[in-house]
């Protein structure tokens, strides 16, 4: 069986796989994580707000997003948003939404639901006496959150946030369904072009495994270091 395998196709395709495919995957992961963290923090603050309506809206959003398969959300946004945009703007044609924009917005919206729960747990882990002390010193609610609560919450939840980012890195392979040349998409194109599906998919799995394991090891080291400091 293994005598028929030609792993030289991997060597010939390395520049395309990493310079084009992996660079796109890492860029999408980084932008989605940053956007999801910002949006997720806002949702977490809404859920912890004293205004019940804001909390319910944020809670419904989180429950809705976490109840759907990510690939379904990707399809929804890519195929339905152009027609929704046409209806809202009254345009004669569907609004064009590129595959990259569609995937980026989808990942930000989807990951925000998960990041929000992580940040909410981090905020609730901070002693209530600290915001009360900040209020006694004359700080507003926004200043208390910005300078006291959120920095500590972010530090406490950093290992979990990074772990979720690793999951996001793996999930970015789903953009393959939109024919975007991420790492998996690039590997698939080479596999179909050269008829070497086994070799390329084995290599793609090995790369995802190696990067995820190395990142997980880094998160464990960081978590141990934070635990020692605390």
Flag whether pLDDT at 2 surpasses 60.
Answer: no
How far does Cα 160 stand from its chain's mean position? Answer: 13
DSSP category for residue 20? I
CA torsion angle for 163, 165, 171, 176 (degrees, to 10)? -150
Flag whether pLDDT at 230 surpasses 60.
Answer: no
- Domain residue spans in the chain? 2-229
pLDDT one-digit tens code per residue, 165-198: 999 999 999 998 888 889 999 999 988 888 888 8
What average pLDDT does the structure give for the chain? 87
Higher pLDDT, 147 or 27: 27
Q: Within a 13 Å sphere around the CA of 167, how many CA atoms are in the beta-carbon half?
A: 12
Q: 130-134, 152-156, 209-213: lowest mean pLDDT where? A: 130-134
For residues 47 and 116, the answer to whether their CB atoms sit within 8 Å is yes
* Predicted pLDDT of residue 40: 94
pLDDT one-digit tens code per residue, 148-157: 888 888 888 8
How confident is residue 23, by pLDDT bands cut at 50, 70 and 90? very high
* Predicted pLDDT of residue 106: 92
Q: How far apart are CA 99 and CA 72, in angstroms?
A: 15
pTM equals 0.88
Q: Which CATH code for domain 2-229?
A: 1.10.3720.10
DSSP category for residue 146? I
Flag whether pLDDT at 128 surpasses 60.
Answer: yes
pLDDT one-digit tens code per residue, 78-126: 888 888 878 878 888 888 888 888 899 999 999 999 999 999 988 888 8
Q: How far apart are CA 100 and CA 102, in angstroms?
A: 5
Flag whether pLDDT at 229 surpasses 70.
Answer: no
pLDDT one-digit tens code per residue, 35-57: 999 999 999 999 988 888 999 99
* Predicted pLDDT of residue 3: 58
* Predicted pLDDT of residue 118: 93
- The residue-averaged pLDDT of 67-78 equals 89
How confident is residue 147, by pLDDT bands cut at 50, 70 and 90? confident
Other C-beta atoms closer than 10 Å to the C-beta of 167 total 11
Higher pLDDT, 3 or 199: 199
């Amino acid at each position: 069986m293994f005598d028929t395998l030609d792993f030289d196709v991997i060597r010939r395709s390395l520049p395309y796989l990493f310079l084009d495919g992996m660079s796109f995957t890492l860029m999408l992961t980084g932008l989605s994580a940053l956007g999801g963290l910002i949006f997720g923090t806002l949702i977490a603050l809404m859920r912890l707000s004293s205004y019940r309506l804001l909390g319910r809206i944020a809670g419904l959003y989180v429950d809705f997003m976490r109840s759907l398969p990510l690939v379904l959300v990707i399809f929804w946004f890519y195929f339905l948003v152009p027609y929704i945009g046409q209806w809202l703007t009254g345009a004669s044609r569907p609004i064009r939404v590129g595959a990259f924009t569609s995937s980026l917005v989808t990942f930000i919206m989807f990951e925000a639901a998960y990041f929000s729960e992580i940040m909410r747990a981090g905020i609730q882990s901070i002693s209530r006496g600290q915001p009360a002390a900040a209020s006694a010193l004359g700080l507003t609610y926004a200043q208390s959150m910005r300078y006291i609560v959120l920095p500590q919450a972010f530090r406490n939840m950093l290992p979990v946030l990074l772990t979720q980012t690793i999951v996001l890195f793996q999930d970015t392979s789903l953009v393959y369904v939109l024919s975007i040349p991420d790492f998996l998409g690039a590997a698939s194109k080479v596999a179909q072009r050269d008829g070497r599906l086994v070799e390329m998919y084995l290599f793609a799995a090995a790369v995802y495994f190696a990067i995820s394991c190395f990142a997980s090891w880094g998160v464990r080291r960081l978590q141990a270091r934070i635990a020692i400091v605390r």
